[in-house]
Amino acid sequence: MSDLAAVLVDRLAGEFEQARDPQRAVGMAAYMRGRFPFLGLTSAVRRARARAALAGLPRPTEADLGEVALACWARDEREFQQFACDYLTAHIRVAGPAFLDTVDELITRRSWWDTVDALATHVVADLVRRHPALTARMDDWAGSADMWQVRTAILHQLHYREATDTARLFGYCAGQASHRDFFVRKAIGWALRQHARTDPDAVRAFLTAHAGVLSPLSIREAAKHL
């Protein structure tokens, strides 16, 4: 582990431990269906403690960025993974296209919507926007057997607005329209609802054309503001 990663994760552990709230941790773990233990830090407390841990440290290199993220993924408590998502979002512009391999590991380990969505809509979104050749990886993920890769591919253009590759977005949604998992169906609806802010007519036409295969959940979510 790099010096920066070692110092940061050690500081972070100390800051988080000081703010531990066991009573709140029980409810937070229950909200996540018991998938992860928590320290019991609210988002505001977690981010305040993270700022204290980061004070005086230099900006990371791409290597630092990956090592910090993987070290946080190795920790039990969920707040470490949530910090890593914030850290990657803040510094992702130092990373090149090969960094998507590291992000792939984060998406497919300790996977749940809180980290996957942050990685998809900020980290993967930025990498693909700056390195268009990575769209081929998104095409692969859109057809993956791993539902979190599928969700990431569908959501990575969520904030692209007019720069959205509509054909690709609609293709991903149509290709997974019959997917049985809630998180994929919800992602389809969310991505379409967001794109409807930019091109409502195109989304209406897509919903009409695919009404027979899209789940009621996807349609309901997509049509909320149409």
Residue 2, pLDDT score = 83
pTM check: above 0.85:
yes
CATH class of the domain whose range is 1-95? mainly alpha
Residue 218, pLDDT score = 98
Q: Could you report the per-residue pLDDT of 204-219, keeping only the tens digit for each?
A: 999 999 999 999 999 9
In the predicted structure, residue 202 carries a pLDDT above the cut 80: yes
Looking at 3.30.230.80, 3.40.50.2030, 2.40.40.20, 1.25.10.90, the CATH number of the domain 131-226 comes to 1.25.10.90
In the predicted structure, residue 107 carries a pLDDT above the cut 80: yes
Residue 103, pLDDT score = 98
Residue 33, pLDDT score = 95
Residue 43, pLDDT score = 97
Residue 204, pLDDT score = 98
Rounded average pLDDT over 59-84: 97
Burial of 63 (0-12, 13-18, 19+ CB in 10 A): middle
- Same fold? 1-95, 131-226: yes
Residue 169, pLDDT score = 98
Other Cβ atoms less than 10 A from the Cβ of 226: the count is 12
Collect all residues with Cβ–Cβ distance below 8 Å to 25 and sequence separation of at least 6: 37, 38, 39, 40
Q: Delimit the domains of the chain by residue range.
A: 1-95, 131-226
Q: Could you report the per-residue pLDDT of 26-59, keeping only the tens digit for each?
A: 999 999 999 999 999 999 999 999 999 999 999 9
Q: Could you report the per-residue pLDDT of 140-196, keeping only the tens digit for each?
A: 999 999 999 999 999 999 999 999 999 999 999 999 999 999 999 999 999 999 999
Residue 1, pLDDT score = 76
